[in-house]
């Protein structure tokens, strides 16, 4: 068991606390002068626009450090082609803190098909091109050019999920740790408040950054690993097997063993192996970067071992050799307590963008300005999502009082507040105050998911805390409606029918999104998602309670195409299920291989790292990597789009499924020539660049928005995150009406999920709804930090 950690609000204040609280953290020397500052102690460089809101990482980090007494400045979306912008606030007294922003910069700038996006939700007026590729590396280089002797501290989701040697989808190769490529001094991963506060105070007290090597939640480069700790080779935890070595056909046979040889080899010294969870005095050596570059099976092994070492109470440090240096990854940070979470979220945020942006709209802010983040973390463990690797598996909860106070702050501070709270949620809507009922088991558990392949018997699934919170939030004066826009984990929800009833009766604005992600068991197992039987049970409860409430409400299921292990047949079965249930997806998301996800290891290695990986004995996977196959999987989700019919017909003929072509019931697409009967707008489908995209349609579905029940769906997870999945930036039109729909953000799970509490793009799967009308306001999920 690790020693008791110090609360982040218990540190003695730095001397500069005498300057008090800034209305906004300064972004220019003029603003510093107005505050009476001659210099900044810490300067944060970020790829996002500066919004002083607890959903934006730079604001959370800046306000937490300000509360410690430090003078913190912000350099937001600097011009990166030279060092001038990085010198605009002068030389920081302690260090530069660098983050790419709330999303990985590559996911922010490129689609899942590696096409450049032309917009950026974290930039004023949604303008693209305001951040560089691999922003952490570029910003670090410019800061080093500006002030060579100033320490550089990396943080945010891009650095967090690239802390080890990792597969990079955009260059299609394994890259080194971002810490080494950036030539930074230290990297903080996860929701880094605890590590950041300790690092800041120790540097302020005169300690060299080179000595800060054993802080949980940090990574550093070393010349050698510590001699005082016992090394455990990763193959002892999960043996990958040995490479095949061909025998030398010209080697001579060795002579027979003599008694003398037997005497020499008979006795072997007894060695004492460390206890399995002796985390304090041992570390795990992962295969070196140089070995992983050309060995995909070894990469899958390293990924599997890394995911086994994520419990903050029992994980061991990781070491990975990069050239002649050692990358030292300390254990994950201890989760924040409820008191610490309240401290972070109760800081004096202005809750609006910095005044320098004037009347410019920042889409990410507009999506979350009236939403409340009630928790962090996720124990779902979905393989395509990296929230667990970023925020942790243990849920970090705010108190009910803190959440209600924030609702009141939204009511009083947010311009144009109409009385609707757009979301009470997080990475998942219904994990608030859920967790392991056995503290001892929780501290030693190495399971990647608490709910797959089935819900753990030790998991407390009582939703009463969430129900009580919903009821109290509806009582806040001035609040007319409280929506739940974060994704609902429906396998947990069916464990508490009372929760489903409360949700459906009071908190659904006509549409509720859930994420089955697929229909086929093999693919769902690789995704670590429950089967469709669970979806059907939730659907029954949803429809039952909607009927009892006298409301016409609809589920919007999300699906992912081209996930590793998903075959053409699997996608065909999913398309047939969609047509049978009369769903039409107009917003589709191909799998996006983002750093550190289990599914990304599947994509690169073409094997299953959820099971023990060996060279000879392993589970190989079918992976859609080619552009044509990925287009086919995406097209099958949009079987109704005439632009996709030729590709689908060709695939059906190749698969021996020509009987699915025609106008008969049960056919997927019509015969060739049917396109000629369509209007030009219908032939264009929904691929027209520059148009808005919307989610789904279902026959006979009324437009609920006409009844004043427009459902806004900004999200509040931490993100995404989830960082990993992000929707294509090409925008779409309704192929039947030509009218633009609402834009839906995504990120990954992961990632999508940068720094603290930021808004992030949501699930990687497309939003689905019912045919005929588009659902109101799909929102961006908050990325993991």
Dihedral of CA atoms 758, 761, 762, 763 in degrees, nearest 10, equals -130
Residue 455's CB is within 10 A of a number of other CB atoms, namely 16
C-alpha span between 346 and 492 (Å, rounded): 29
Read off φ and ψ for residue 339, nearest 5 degrees: -65, -40
For position 449, what pLDDT does the model report?
96
Give the rounded distance of the alpha carbon of 184 from its chain centre: 23
Q: Are 79 and 85 in contact (CB under 8 A)?
A: yes
Question: Which residues lie closer than 8 Å to 258 by C-beta, 6 or more apart?
Answer: none
pTM above 0.85, yes or no: no
Q: Are 172 and 106 in contact (CB under 8 A)?
A: no
385 labelled ligand-binding: yes
Q: Are 435 and 492 in contact (CB under 8 A)?
A: no
For position 742, what pLDDT does the model report?
34
Instruction: State the 10-residue block means of pLDDT for the chain, 785 residues long.
Output: 78 96 98 98 98 97 98 98 97 98 97 95 97 98 98 98 98 97 98 96 97 97 91 74 44 53 56 60 94 95 95 96 97 97 98 97 97 97 94 97 98 94 95 96 94 96 98 97 95 98 96 93 97 97 97 92 97 96 84 97 96 85 95 96 95 96 93 69 47 40 41 38 39 36 36 38 35 36 34
Rg (CA), the chain: 26
667 labelled ligand-binding: no
Q: What is the DSSP string of 119-149?
A: B-TTSGGGBS-SS-TTHHHHHHHHHHHH-TT
Q: Are 421 and 484 in contact (CB under 8 A)?
A: no
From the list 565, 553, 559, the residue with the least C-alpha distance to 577 is 559
Q: Are 364 and 286 in contact (CB under 8 A)?
A: no
Q: Are 751 and 161 in contact (CB under 8 A)?
A: yes
Q: What architecture is domain 15-220?
A: 3-Layer(aba) Sandwich (3.40)
For position 227, what pLDDT does the model report?
86
450 labelled ligand-binding: no
Read off φ and ψ for residue 92, nearest 5 degrees: -70, 145
From the list 383, 376, 413, the residue with the least C-alpha distance to 398 is 376
For position 276, what pLDDT does the model report?
55
For position 660, what pLDDT does the model report?
97
Convert the pLDDT of each residue in 190-243 to its tens digit.
999 999 999 999 999 999 999 999 999 999 999 999 888 999 988 766 665 443
Domain ranges across the chain: 15-220
Evaluate the omega torsion of the peptide bond into residue 634 and state whether it is cis, within 30 degrees of 0.
no
From the list 780, 698, 690, 676, the residue with the least C-alpha distance to 733 is 690
């Amino acid at each position: 068991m690790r020693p008791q950690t110090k609360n982040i609000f218990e540190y003695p204040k730095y001397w500069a606390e005498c300057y008090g609280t800034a209305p906004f953290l300064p972004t220019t020397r003029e603003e510093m002068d107005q505050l009476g500052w001659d210099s900044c102690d810490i300067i944060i460089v970020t790829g996002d626009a500066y919004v002083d809101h607890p959903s934006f990482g730079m604001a959370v980090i800046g306000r937490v450090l300000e509360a410690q007494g430090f003078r913190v400045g912000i350099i937001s979306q600097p011009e990166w082609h030279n060092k001038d912008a990085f010198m605009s606030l002068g030389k920081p007294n302690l260090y530069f803190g660098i983050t790419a922003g709330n999303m990985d910069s590559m996911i922010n700038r490129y689609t899942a098909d590696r096409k450049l996006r032309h917009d950026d939700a974290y930039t004023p007026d949604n303008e693209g091109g305001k951040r560089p590729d691999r922003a952490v590396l570029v910003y670090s280089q410019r800061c080093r050019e500006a002030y060579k002797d100033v320490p550089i501290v990396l943080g945010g989701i891009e650095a967090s999920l690239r802390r080890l040697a990792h597969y990079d989808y955009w260059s299609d190769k394994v890259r080194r740790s971002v810490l080494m490529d950036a030539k930074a001094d230290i990297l903080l991963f996860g929701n880094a408040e605890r590590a950041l506060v300790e690092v800041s105070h120790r540097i302020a007290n005169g300690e060299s950054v080179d000595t800060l090597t054993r802080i949980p939640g940090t990574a550093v480069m070393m010349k050698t690993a510590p001699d005082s700790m016992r090394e455990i080779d990763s193959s002892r935890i999960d043996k990958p097997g040995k490479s095949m070595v061909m025998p030398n056909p010209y080697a001579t046979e060795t002579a027979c063993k003599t008694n003398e040889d037997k005497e020499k080899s008979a006795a072997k010294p007894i060695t004492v192996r460390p206890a399995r969870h002796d985390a304090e005095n041992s570390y795990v050596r992962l295969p070196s970067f140089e070995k992983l570059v050309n060995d995909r099976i070894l990469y899958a092994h390293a990924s599997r071992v890394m995911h086994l070492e994520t419990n903050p109470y029992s994980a061991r440090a990781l070491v990975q050799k990069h050239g002649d240096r050692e990358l030292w990854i300390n254990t994950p940070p201890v989760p924040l307590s409820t008191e610490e979470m309240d401290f972070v979220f109760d800081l004096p945020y202005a809750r609006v963008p910095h005044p320098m942006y004037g009347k410019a709209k920042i889409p990410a802010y507009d999506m979350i300005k009236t939403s409340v983040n009630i928790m962090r973390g996720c124990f779902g463990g979905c393989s395509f999502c990296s929230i667990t690797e970023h925020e942790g598996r243990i849920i970090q909860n705010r108190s009910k009082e803190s959440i209600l106070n924030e609702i009141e702050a939204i009511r009083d501070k947010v311009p144009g507040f109409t009385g609707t709270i757009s979301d009470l949620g997080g990475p998942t809507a219904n994990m608030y105050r859920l967790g392991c009922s056995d503290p001892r088991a929780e501290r030693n558990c190495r399971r990647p998911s608490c709910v797959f392949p089935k819900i753990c018997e030790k998991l407390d699934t009582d939703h009463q805390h969430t129900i009580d919170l919903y009821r109290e939030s509806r009582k806040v004066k001035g609040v007319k409606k409280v929506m739940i826009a974060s994704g609902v984990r429906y396998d947990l929800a069916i464990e508490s029918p009372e929760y489903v009833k409360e949700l459906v009766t009071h908190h659904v604005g006509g549409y509720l999104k859930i994420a089955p992600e697929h229909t086929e068991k093999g693919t769902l197992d690789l995704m670590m998602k429950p089967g469709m039987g669970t979806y059907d049970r939730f659907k029954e409860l949803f429809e039952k309670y909607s009927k009892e409430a006298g409301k016409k409400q609809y589920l919007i299921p999300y699906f992912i195409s081209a996930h590793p292990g998903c075959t053409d047949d699997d996608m065909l079965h999913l398309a047939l299920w969609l047509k049978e249930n009369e769903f039409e997806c107009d917003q589709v998301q191909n799998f996006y291989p983002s750093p550190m996800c289990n599914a990304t290891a599947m994509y690169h290695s073409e094997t299953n790292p959820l099971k023990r990986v060996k060279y000879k004995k392993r589970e190989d996977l079918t992976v859609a990597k080619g552009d044509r196959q990925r287009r086919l999987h995406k097209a099958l989700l949009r079987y109704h789009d005439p632009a996709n019919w030729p590709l689908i017909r060709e695939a059906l003929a190749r698969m021996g499924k020509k009987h699915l072509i025609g106008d008969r019931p049960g056919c997927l697409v019509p015969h060739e020539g049917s396109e000629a009967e369509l209007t030009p707008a219908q032939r264009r489908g929904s691929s027209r660049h520059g148009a808005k995209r919307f989610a789904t349609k279902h026959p006979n579905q009324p437009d609920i928005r006409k009844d004043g029940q427009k459902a806004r769906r900004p999200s509040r997870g931490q993100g995404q995150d989830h960082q990993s999945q992000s929707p294509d930036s090409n925008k779409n039109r309704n192929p039947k009406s030509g009218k633009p729909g609402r834009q839906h953000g995504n990120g990954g799970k992961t990632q999508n999920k940068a720094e603290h509490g930021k808004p992030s793009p949501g699930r990687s799967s497309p939003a689905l709804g019912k045919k005929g009308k588009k659902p109101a306001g799909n929102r961006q999920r908050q990325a993991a930090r």
